[in-house]
Amino acid sequence: MLFCPTCANMLGTINGHCNSCPYEFPISKQMTSRSRMKRKEVDDVLGGEETWRDADSTAITCDKCSHPRAYFYQLQIRSADEPMTTCICAGCAYQWREN
């Protein structure tokens, strides 16, 4: 996108004319550019691996890897009538909700 240096309105993409003032920017070739944005690092909202060291756990079998232990926490995601308990497998970190 190009902007007019006199009135700061966006210039037309086909002809380069400003719709608000007499400014013209002759477009002789296609003008494009690409840039890769750097992804920001995602913060672990649950506290990271240190939190799970002392977290509550229970003897429940993981459906994915059959590990006999899982951590659990309660997090209200939707309405009050839906289950809140979420389990995380201690072996493979698979997550599921308990009903």
Provide the annotated active-site residues. 81-82
Amino acid in position 75: L
Alpha-carbon distance values, 7 to 1, 10, 11, 15, 91 (Å): 15, 9, 10, 17, 61
Beta pairing, strands 85-89 & 95-97: antiparallel
Taking alpha carbons only, the member of 2, 6, 5 closest to residue 15 is 2
Taking alpha carbons only, the member of 79, 80, 62 closest to residue 70 is 62
